[in-house]
Amino acid sequence: MSTPGEITVTGLGVTTAVGRGKADFARALYDGSHRFAVMERPGRQHDTRFVGAEIPGQVTPGRLTARELRTSSFTARVALTTLEEAWEEARLDEVDGERVGLVVGGSNLGQRELVLAHERHRDRPAFLRPGYGLSFLDSDLCGQCTAAFGIRGLAHTVGGASASGQLAIIEAAEAVAAGRVDVCVALGALMDLSYWECLGLRTMGAMVPDRCADAPELACRPFDQGHQGFVFGEACAALVIERRGERRGLEDYGTLSGWSVRLDGNRGPDPSEDGESGAIRGALDRAGLEADQIDYVNPHGTASPVGDRTEAAALRACGLTGAAVNATKSVTGHGLSAAGAVEAVATLLQMRRGRLHPTRNLRDPVDGGLRWVGDGGLETEVRHAMSLSAGFGGINTALCVSASGSGSVR
């Protein structure tokens, strides 16, 4: 069996409201760009206004026929486009499809389109298209991706609420480490919210209130004293994971040196400092790293008042006060099921460039003892980084990423 230190990332794909593809995405991160506005996608309008960041224009994957495109959900079109970018960078057409796997992070992904279908066929159910029998199943997205790319090794979904994207990375890494496949793609899928989910999340106090629609550019404030909840952001990301050196000529982005999953034993949305600290310590232990070796942390950072304070306390408790910290969600919004994968991509891109992006709207940090990256960003070498995710239901994950050649993994 491979050790964790042999597991690397050889391809990245990303689609967000602020940028499609790695180059546009990185540019938006460093510029501190945003697309926060009152959401307008059909199925998200209601008597109240919901602030979010929506992907502009049409998303048209290259591997679909016109007929397949007509019957594909928005989530699927974004997933296929994102997967194609990572697939081509890692030259996966050269790999036997029997040795390629796919893990999709996310469940209940297409709620908006299901709501639209219900409303459209409420008075004429006999005209419901046959494809509906597939579209409400989590296996549908796996099926579309495996059909389009010839993946025949393994494919399944993992649901962990807002930790789903990072759980997919961990599951993919473990599949490669165990030798189940040679290459595995982790896909953090776009969760297509309808107004029902937005209403529910706002009612519980997780999503920003209606009044934030008056100044949407100021609504998303991770780790700032003025935070009022998360702002949704459409997003998807894909990471190609394999053993180092299996295919010569590929330049990897870094090593997945350690990871950990810890549960709180809690159904609800409340975060746990113990659970988050446990995940951090577990990932450090698996990577063979001490806290003072972590140069950079990409936190969960949703802008939930209780969530931000709990996470800041966990960082402090684990001795990560020397690491630089920024919040990718301040630029992208919260991608929910995709968030952990999008933030892993952001972490790897920043490590390669040696530059950390700014944190938008961070004026008065909730904890003055951490090394926040403010408006100007930060030029710095990152040898070891950590990315964190947390999901409703008490799911905490942590991922350590090391630059190639750091030689720190035991």
Architecture of the structural domain at 254-402:
3-Layer(aba) Sandwich (3.40)
CA distance 60 to 57: 10
* pLDDT at res. 127: 81
pLDDT (average), residues 31-38: 97
Confidence of residue 230 (pLDDT cuts 50, 70, 90): very high
Q: Which of 125-129, 157-161, 349-353 has the lowest mean pLDDT?
A: 125-129
Put simply, whether the predicted model's pTM sits higher than 0.85 gets the answer yes
**pLDDT by residue (tens digit) across 94-116?**
999 999 999 999 999 999 999 99
Q: Report how many helices (DSSP H) and strands (DSSP E) the chain contains, helices first.
A: 12, 16
C-alpha pair distances (Å), 160 with each of 60, 66, 230, 357: 28, 33, 17, 27
Contact between 340 and 165 under an 8 Å Cβ cutoff? The reply is: yes
Confidence of residue 57 (pLDDT cuts 50, 70, 90): very high
CATH superfamily of the 4-243 domain: Thiolase/Chalcone synthase (3.40.47.10)
Q: Which of 59-68, 181-190, 213-222, 319-328 has the lowest mean pLDDT?
A: 59-68
Is the pLDDT score of 233 beyond 80? yes
**pLDDT by residue (tens digit) across 271-292?**
999 999 999 999 999 999 999 9
3-state SS class at 344? helix
Is the pLDDT score of 410 beyond 50? no
To the nearest whole number, what is the mean pLDDT of the chain?
A: 94
Confidence of residue 247 (pLDDT cuts 50, 70, 90): confident
Q: Where in the chain is the domain with CATH 3.40.47.10?
A: 4-243, 254-402
CA distance 23 to 362: 25
* pLDDT at res. 406: 67
* pLDDT at res. 46: 85
Is the pLDDT score of 64 beyond 90? no
CA distance 388 to 25: 20
- CB-CB neighbours of 205 under 10 Å: 14
* pLDDT at res. 405: 67
Is the pLDDT score of 259 beyond 60? yes
* pLDDT at res. 392: 96
Is the pLDDT score of 168 beyond 80? yes
* Angle in degrees, 0-180, between the axes of helices 305-317 and 273-287, rounded to the nearest 10: 40
Confidence of residue 136 (pLDDT cuts 50, 70, 90): confident
CA distance 336 to 188: 9
